[in-house]
Amino acid sequence: MTDIVDELKWRGVIALSTDEDALRKALADGPVTFYCGFDPTAASLHVGHLVQVLTMRRLQQAGLRPLALVGGATGQIGDPRPTAERTLNDPETVANWVNRLRAQIQPFLSFEGDNAAVMVNNLDWTAGMSAIEFLRDIGKHFRVNKMLTKDSVARRLQSEEGISYTEFSYQLLQGMDFLELYRRHGCTLQQGGSDQWGNLTAGLDLIHRLEPHAQVHALATPLMTKSDGTKFGKTEGGAVWLDAEMTTPYAFYQFWLNADDRDISTYMRILSFKSRAELEELEKQTEERPQARAAQRALAEELTTLVHGAEQTAAVIAASRALFGQGELAELDAATLAAALSEVPHVQVSQLGAVVDLFAEVGLVASKSAARRTVKEGGAYVNNVKVATEDAVPAKEDLLHGRWLVLRRGKKNLAAVEVTGA
């Protein structure tokens, strides 16, 4: 198990950790139980959570025992954001989201064998606790001056918004989680993001105060960033979710396929389960032939399969190829086609018109005259069929699933027309 530390360091998964030598010794001495927490502040996890979920999977494969905590209690409070207070969700909504997140996390972990994973909920040890008990048993062991130095708190104190006592107390709740899991499950390692470091160490401090002989550790993963300055996990349409109804498998696949060459090596090392040799070969291919996007394709396929399954991934790849003339559009199911076309420029029309009109309306060309030139030069396609004449009008029978036309200018410029009155 000690090899996992070197593996994580090579992959760039460790941003911060407590005493590394002590952690290595703990791993060498015997099985280690660790936990990672996820707050249900939305109906789904997003791709940013994959860093934690996949690190849990990696640690379990190395022999550690994972506790996956979905916070039915902390989800009702919310970790302080850098700029403003969170909107508090009602308990029923949070309980529903707890179940949704648990269902998303479970497929990544094994719940059998000597190091079988366990799902836990911090509402189990907070629901019956009174405010007096919480203040006496937990709050007594926290020092306000130290709490004020935590990054999330310090940033909010410097903002106009300030911070409520509710969010200020979040680190007490997370600290209590580590203590309870230490006592209930023998958990000695907490994993989380580097932005959570203050909360991670709060748990360590609490355990050291109440269980002075305990040997406990914390490990933080780096925050994923994008070289172009935009936030990782965000697109023009918003967050990239793991839930297929909130972000389609096609859009999920495309997010990774479109990763910047400057970022793909970092993403691969942190998120992929390919071997070091395989990753180094993909990095070499990216350097030598970036236009082939070999690393992006490999990561997109791997992560889409992990999150959505092999069948959905195959459908997504088929759709991606078919849109660019490398497969049969008619063979795509309606849901996959609709998801794929929602990611390209598209317009709705009530009835079919001339191809040149459609090309101009959807924005593939600047004008009808430009559309005519495109047709004349042999660069206009409808459903991957080259448009032969400038006055061509698609037939009703050309509509895919009775609804869609796929327009393409040249090899790479795609758009779609949805006919609503057909």
pLDDT tens sequence across 7-54: 999 999 999 999 999 999 999 998 999 999 999 999 999 999 999 999
Helix H, strand E, coil C: the string for 154-208 is HHHHCCCCCCCHHHHCHHHHHHHHHHHHHHHHCEEEEEEEHHHHHHHHHHHHHHH
Q: What is the mean pLDDT of residues 84-98?
A: 93
Looking at residue 83, what is its pLDDT?
Answer: 78
Q: Which residues are annotated as a binding site?
A: 35, 170, 174, 234
Residue showing tokens 């490990």: 219
CA nearest to 408, candidates 366, 375, 373, 364: 364
Q: How confident is the model at residue 82 (pLDDT cuts 50, 70, 90)?
A: confident
Would you say the C-alpha torsion 378, 380, 383, 387 has a positive or negative sign?
negative
Most distant pair of Cα atoms in the chain: their distance? 84
Task: Give me the domains of the chain, ranges plus CATH numbers.
Answer: 3-221 (3.40.50.620), 224-328 (1.10.240.10), 344-422 (3.10.290.10)
pLDDT digits (tens, 9 = 90+) for 136-193: 999 999 999 988 888 878 888 888 888 999 999 999 999 999 999 999 999 999 999 9
Q: Which of 225-234, 236-245, 286-295 has the highest mean pLDDT?
A: 286-295
The percentage of residues in the chain with a pLDDT greater than 90, rounded to a whole number, is 82
CA pair distance 387, 382, nearest whole angstrom: 7
User: 105-142: b or e for each residue (b if 16 or more CB lie within 10 Å)?
Assistant: beebbeeeeebebbbbbbbebbeeeeeeebeeebeebb
pLDDT number for residue 422: 56
Give the per-residue pLDDT at 237: 72
**Angle, vertex CA 80, rays to CA 78 and CA 83, nearest 5:** 130
pLDDT digits (tens, 9 = 90+) for 321-349: 998 888 899 999 999 999 999 889 999 99
Spatial CB neighbours of 51, under 8 Å, sequence gap ≥ 6: 13, 193, 221, 222, 224, 270, 271
* pLDDT the model gives residue 421: 67
For residue 158, the model assigns a pLDDT of 85
Using the predicted structure, report yes or no on whether residue 373 has a pLDDT greater than 60: yes
Which of the four pLDDT bands, split at 50, 70 and 90, describes residue 78?
confident
| Residue whose entry in the numeric block shows the structure tokens 């690393």 | 295
- Average pLDDT score, the chain: 93
Residue type, 272: S
Which residues are known binding-site members for ATP?
Answer: 234
Q: How many Å apart are CA 370 and CA 351, to the nearest integer?
A: 22
Residue 320 reports pLDDT greater than 80: yes
Give the mean pLDDT of 277-282: 97
Rounded Cα–Cα distance for residues 249 and 343 (Å): 11
How far apart are the C-alpha atoms of 353 and 416, rounded to whole Å?
Answer: 14
- Rounded to an integer, the average pLDDT of 350-373 is 94
Quote the pTM value.
Answer: 0.90
What distances in angstroms separate CA 288 from CA 134, 164, 412, one per listed residue? 59, 53, 22
- 10 Å CB burial of residue 286 (0-12, 13-18, 19+) is buried
Which residues carry a binding-site annotation for L-tyrosine?
A: 35, 170, 174
143: which DSSP letter? -
Residue 234 or 261, more confident:
261
pLDDT for the residue 293 = 94
Cα(390)–Cα(112) distance, integer angstroms: 64
Question: Minimum mean pLDDT among 102-111, 144-153, 204-213, 299-308: which range?
Answer: 144-153
pLDDT digits over 374-407, tens only?
999 999 999 999 999 999 999 999 999 999 999 9
